[in-house]
Copies of this chain bind each other. A is one copy, B any other.
Amino acid sequence: MNNLIVQKFGGTSIANTDRFQAVADLVVDSINSGTNVAVVVSAMAGETQRLINLAKELQESPDPREYDALVSSGEQVSAALLAIALKERNFLSKSYTAHQLGLVTDNSHGRARINSIDTSALEKDIELGVVPVITGFQGVNSSGDITTLGRGGSDTTAVALAVALKADECQIYTDVDGVYTTDPNVYKKAKKIEKICFEEMLELSSLGAKVLQIRSVEFASKYEMPIRVLSSFDSSGGTLITKEENSLESAIISGITCTSDDSKIVLRDVPDTPGIAAKILSPVSEAGIEIDVIVQNVGNDKLTDFTFTVKSDQSEMAVDILKTLIESLGGGEIELVKEISKVSVVGVGMKSHAGVAARMFKALADKKINIDMISTSEIKISVVVSKEKAEEAVIALHDEFELEN
């Protein structure tokens, strides 16, 4: 539909009835500015957790079908309350559950994927001046059972709905006002990014994760649906996430991320035989351990050093697996280094600017920050440093690439 935006409000934006009033006012402002609006809501802050706690008191791993039926009630409450607040403002409004809408997913309870959305009722509503308020996070499978999309799934609902309705934009309202060049808690000079492309946002997922669900960005990227991240608590513009434009002015670097709670596992002096990487990594990854950066150094005497990083809470498990494995690999030493951090610079601009890596490494060297591992992709360069140096590294790089300007 032309002249339509989808607005999604998360749990903190509707934590209490005062917040519902504020959100209703925001929706009304958008309508009064001449736009049609369809709204997607999450459960009120704390509500989903309250329901999960009840379920877990009854069953340690609650039945997936019933778990979804249970927690999806939170969004039903929010949708009805926002429709009531809009009615009070003399706007026509109707709440929709996934069932009523016809938002059909696959059968994977707790992490369902959207298969189709029937927009006919919504389109009719919008033509009649009705503001539809749709429950995020949930769907129904082909048997009519309620499913949920997983934590943060309301963002995905909003983007999917925007795509289905051919909306102009999907606005994700939350309690922060956008995506920043780096975590403002790490460097106070961090600056809000006004515009960023999907690919950069995906690489900056750790910065974005505080703001919106990365899966919704993948979805938006696929269908080129612009997402605007906004705060429902102030009106300071937000960040627009959209497709890459060939603009000369685009920044070389868009943002800098920094992980915490990472560990590095080094296998030293393992025989450098074909397929050694798979032999090491497959058993680890099959155990459900997420492997991040991987580096293999070519060694001497047909021996090699093999290094990878994992989340610290899974590092001991990874080491245990490697210990059972090391003999069959033909020997080697296992070393576990906790307290490391991955610092990444991200930007589509680096594709057309040579020397970004060199500038990065020099900036770190100037601060005497030792680089443990390096990993690069087309629009991202990551270095692994000791955790105690991580914040210093972020600041040095933020200054080097002049992101505060």
Contact = CB atoms under 8 A, between A and B. Distances in A.
Interface of A: 17, 20-21, 51, 54-55, 57-59, 62-63, 65-67, 69-70, 72-74, 76-77, 79-81, 83-85, 87-88, 93-95, 97, 99-100, 144-145
B62 A70 contact: no
Nearest to A88: B59
Given A66-B87, A66-B94, 8 more contacts: A17-B58, A63-B84, A63-B87, A63-B93, A66-B81, A69-B83, A70-B76, A70-B81
Contacts of A57: 17
Contact of A69 (B51, B76, B145): B76
A65 B97 CA distance: 13
B17 A54 contact: yes
B81 A63 contact: no
B77 A70 contact: yes
Contact of A58 (B54, B55, B67, B88): B88
9 contacts: A17-B57, A55-B81, A58-B84, A63-B93, A65-B95, A66-B87, A66-B93, A69-B76, A69-B79
B81 A95 contact: no
Contact of A80 (B69, B77, B94, B144): B69
A147 to B, nearest CB: 13
Among all A-B residue pairs, the 3 with the closest Cβ atoms: A70-B80, A17-B57, A69-B80
Nearest to A68: B80
Contacts of A80: 55, 66-67, 69-70, 73
A303 B108 CA distance: 79
A146 B350 CA distance: 54
A67 B74 CA distance: 15
Contacts of A85: 58-59
A135 to B, nearest CB: 10
Given A17-B54, A100-B144, A94 B81 contact: no
A73 B76 contact: yes
Nearest to A69: B80
Given A57-B17, A73-B73, A65 B51 contact: no
A163 to B, nearest CB: 24
A59 B77 CA distance: 15
A41 to B, nearest CB: 12
A90 to B, nearest CB: 11
Contacts of A67: 80, 84
A136 B49 CA distance: 24
Given A17-B54, A20-B58, A76-B76, A84 B66 contact: yes
Contact of A59 (B72, B73, B79, B84): B84
A28 B62 CA distance: 18
A93 B58 CA distance: 14
A65 B94 contact: yes
Contacts of A70: 76-77, 80-81, 84
A81 to B, nearest CB: 6
Given A17-B54, A57-B17, A62 B76 contact: no
Contacts of A99: 97, 99-100
Contacts of A59: 84-85, 87-88
Residue of A55, A69, A99 ringed by the most chain B CB atoms within 10 A: A69
